[in-house]
Amino acid sequence: MPALRIILLFFLIVCAVAVSFSRRLLVSVSIYMAFSLVMAIVWLILESPDLAITEAAVGAGVTGILFFVMLKKIRSIHTNIMAENGADPQEQNAAVDRDMED
Binding mask 10-49 for another protein (x = CB under 8 A): --xx--xx-xx----x--xx--x--xx--x--xx--xxxx
Distances (CA, A) of 71 to 3, 6, 80, 85: 37, 34, 14, 21
Instruction: Look at residues 4, 30, 6 and name the one whose alpha carbon lies nearest to residue 18.
Output: 30
Binding of residue 94 to another protein (CB under 8 A): no
- Phi, psi angles (nearest 5°) of residue 87: -90, 155
**2 binds another protein per the rule CB under 8 A:** yes
Residues near another protein, by CB under 8 A: 2, 5-6, 9, 12-13, 16-17, 19-20, 25, 28-29, 32, 35-36, 39, 42-43, 46-59, 61-63, 65-67, 69-81, 83, 99, 102
